[in-house]
Structure formats: structure tokens, C-alpha cells
Amino acid sequence: MIGSDYGETAAVTKAGHWRFYCAAGGRAMSDEITVDRPVVLVGLMGAGKSCIGRRLAQRLRLPFVDADREIEQAAGCSIPEIFARHGEQAFRDGERRVILRLLESPPFVLATGGGAFMDPRTRAAVHGKAISIWLRADLDLLVRRTGRRGDRPLLQVDDPRAKLAELMEMRHPFYAEADLTVDSQDGPPDLTLERVLAALAAYQPPALAKDAAAGAERRAASS
């Protein structure tokens, strides 16, 4: 039987706030971006979370963590083996515990599994402790990308395309709750990476946006 949280997972040790400059459309951005919390990528399998996540972490000079690899390390077996031996619910329970533990770490980039953001406790923790980015991809792109691998438990069906369409309908409303949405492009990964960086550069946390709006109202009232 799997332990309550698959056992111990490696902690991310790099601390502090991280500043970086990014470029979009061939033009350097002048605004300095400060990341003071984890950046969490969500979306369906095949959206490019691990691929883009690694590149994003390099640009931000942050550690990168793949939640699926952390789960496998903690469980001592592969995700397909967890599904086969213990079922999806046991996997989801362990997935949630691993992600909640990781979110206690200093800033880093986290690529999550496709179903992680469906869990309400995981979603609440991400909302409270991280910046979440939904990598959104169309069905044709997901079908092409996921067809390159045969180790995805949920796609071990007669019609993987129909299954992906079903997952899109079910999960997209939850992914839409992410702080940012970036379309994953069919092309070099850096195209999508630049979109992610541009979205982060423009992002203003809700609390800061509310404070800024209140400040503007006070200045307008006193003028």
C-alpha cells in the first residue's frame, strides 16, 4: 500500500527573490520582473508544461521541478505502475500531498500533471502560494504530442483523441482559474516561452492591483 504521501520528497533549497529581464518579439522589456513565489504550470498532457517549465526556470535562474518525477521518486515506482497497482485515486491523493509540500519551498518553477489542478485543495494552495499559468493547446496539437509517448495511463484507450476531447471539456473550466493563460504554440518551444515571459512581465497580483486601484481613487478624490 502506498504511504500517506509516498514518503519524503526532495526539498528545493534555493531561496530569495529573483529578478530577470526578458525579451519578447525581438524587443527587450524594460520592466524588471520580481518572482517572490513559485511559478506553477498547469494544463493538459502534451501542452508542454515540462518542456516550457525547464526553459522558464533557466531564464528566471530558478530550480525546476517536475511533479510527476517527484511523485515517482517518492513512490519508488512509475506513474503507470501506481495507476495499475493502486488506482487513480491513490495516485491523486499522493500527488496532492507532494505538491502541497513542494509549495512550501522558496521560488521555483513547477510543472504539474494534467489532473493536479482539478483537486480543490491543490488548486487553493496554488492560488494562495504561487503564480499559476495555464498552458492552453488545441486538440490537434495535443493529439500529435501525446502520440509520441505510450506511457500515459489515461490514454490507454481505443480512441485517445476522443479521450483528450473529453478531458478538455472537463478540465478547461478549472484551468481557466489560473492567474495567467498562455497559448502553447506548435513550433519551437522558445515561441511559447516568450509568451509566458511576456505574460509574467505584465502580471499584477490581485492584491496589488486592488491596492493600486484604491490609490488611484484616493489621488483622484484629492485632486
Residue 187: the pLDDT is: 87
For the stretch 30-62, pLDDT in tens is 245 678 899 999 999 999 999 999 999 999 989
Annotated binding residues for Mg(2+): 50
Residue 24: the pLDDT is: 38
From residue 183, give the alpha-carbon distance in Å to each of 28, 88, 180: 21, 28, 10
Higher pLDDT, 14 or 210: 210
For the stretch 135-181, pLDDT in tens is 999 999 999 998 877 667 778 888 989 999 999 999 999 999 999 99
> Which residue matches cell numbers 519578447?
24
The highest-confidence range among 78-87, 109-118, 195-204, by mean pLDDT, is 109-118
Residue 83: the pLDDT is: 87
Report yes or no: 196 and 133 within 8 Å, Cβ to Cβ: yes
Residue 222: the pLDDT is: 62
Q: Which amino acid is at 56?
A: L
**C-alpha torsion angle, residues 212, 215, 217, 223 (rounded to 10):** -140
Annotated binding residues for substrate: 68, 92, 114, 171
Q: Say how many C-beta atoms besides its own lie within 10 A of residue 29's C-beta.
A: 16
Q: Domain 32-142+165-222 in CATH: superfamily?
A: P-loop containing nucleotide triphosphate hydrolases (3.40.50.300)
**103-139 b/e with 16+ CB inside 10 Å = b?**
bebbbbbbbbbbbbbbbeebbebbeebbbbbbbbbee
> Which three cell numbers mark 188?
519551437
Tell whether the model's pLDDT for residue 7 goes beyond 60: no
The highest-confidence range among 11-20, 35-44, 87-96, 153-162, by mean pLDDT, is 35-44
Annotated binding residues for ATP: 46-51, 152
Annotated binding residues: 46-51, 68, 92, 114, 152, 171
pTM above 0.85, yes or no: no
Report yes or no: 190 and 55 within 8 Å, Cβ to Cβ: yes
Per mean pLDDT, which range of 40-49, 77-86, 202-211 is the poorest? 202-211
